[in-house]
Amino acid sequence: MPKIRVLVVDDAVVVRSRLSKILSSDPELEVVGVAANGRIALAKISHVNPDVIILDIEMPEMDGLQTLSAIRQIYPRLPVIMYSTFTRSGAIATLEALSLGASDYATKPSNLGSVEATNQHIRDDLIPKIKVFGAFFTPSAITHPVVFPVRSDIQQVEVVAIGVSTGGPNALGVVLKEFPADLSVPILIVQHMPPMFTKLLAKQLASKCKIPVDEAVSGQIVKPGHAWIAPGDFHLIVQRDKTGVQLTTHQASRENSCRPSVDVLLRSVAQVYGAGAIAVILTGMGQDGLHGCQCIREAGGQVLAQDKATSVVWGMPSFVVNAGLANQVLPLNQIADEIMHRIRSNQVPLSDL
């Protein structure tokens, strides 16, 4: 099997050297070129023919965003993974890069304490993404689909919980902007992102949507017509008490190598809302959300999944679909309408309250 060909673009020679060494140590990868800025990278692409480009954001002469725009004009399908610093400016630029067509991003290791910890961060965070976009990734097969009895007593929808990873910021923008200002249910979201990125994502989405979108804070009361995103490095759950349903964030162990985890959120949603929940699994790597969707279905709730054609990576939705957990599989641009249809078709008329 041919190796995945990688072009590394970064102005720091130490970063180029370290990435080249670590990526080349993987038998499935080959670093076919390096470049110190965007202009050099653009000149090299046609000569080294990479399968994936690792692209720094902050560079002299031609920065990552300018380079990405130029790449997308000439090579619209060439996978580009942004390699960003773990700073506010890096997060802002990363979100902009994703909106410009970057395939994904990885954060540069910082304050990890040792060279080996730094190297392991690269192996864990960057290499799997390179393999996904280099087409070496194959999801594990689900052996026995779960079969649920057909229900005739679908309960009124009380909450929508969304799980998403790779390709998520753009996918969330497509879905959330379609919800009306008078949306009758709350929206709870787990997007796999580090701290600071999620707060900026919430702010970005809020500027495009009719409903408020915020990063979740423990103790907030869940209310209709509002969306909350789990903060980076914190799980998000819901808990019911005398005052209503509250948001709680915590830092228990990672699940599916993720914190926040979709499974953690969906388990709590199933427990609190039962058959009144809709779970939505959008584009993303891995299988986070699979167990949570089973909990939602066992509680009588509904599950929607994004289809393969419109997913950046059909990983998370594929596990849910292959397990027989999805009530419906839809292209991204139809998901909001389907959610609204399911909310409205089961609303209790005011005269019945």
Long-range contacts, 340-348 (Cβ 8 Å, 24+): 340/178, 340/179, 340/180, 342/157, 342/278, 342/302, 343/157, 343/160, 343/183, 343/184, 343/185, 343/278, 346/154, 346/155, 346/156, 346/157, 347/156, 347/157, 347/184, 348/156
Dihedral sign of CA atoms 130, 132, 136, 140 in order: positive
Contacts of 199 (CB under 8 A, 6+ apart): 215, 231, 232
**Of 51, 192, 235, 307, which residue is the catalytic one?**
192
Question: At 347, which amino acid appears?
Answer: Q
Angle value at C-alpha 32, between 71 and 112, nearest 5 degrees: 85
DSSP type of residue 78: S
- Residue 288 among the catalytic residues: yes
Q: What CA–CA distances, in Å, run from 163 to 30, 100, 341?
A: 33, 22, 20
- Cα(42)–Cα(32) distance, integer angstroms: 14
Query: Which of the following is catalytic: 84, 165, 261, 268?
Result: 165
Cβ atoms < 10 Å from Cβ of 152: 5
Among candidate residues 103, 288, 291, 318, the one labeled active-site is 288
Closest to 30 measured CA to CA, from 48, 47, 14, 46 = 48
Residue 236 · residue 264 · CB < 8 Å? yes
Give the pairing of strands 328-330 and 52-56.
unpaired
Tokens of 126: 């960057």
CA distance 292 to 287: 10
* Residue environment code for 226-252, b if the CB has 16+ CB neighbours within 10 A, otherwise e: bbbbbbbebbbbbeeeeeebbbbbeee
Catalytic positions are: 165, 192, 288
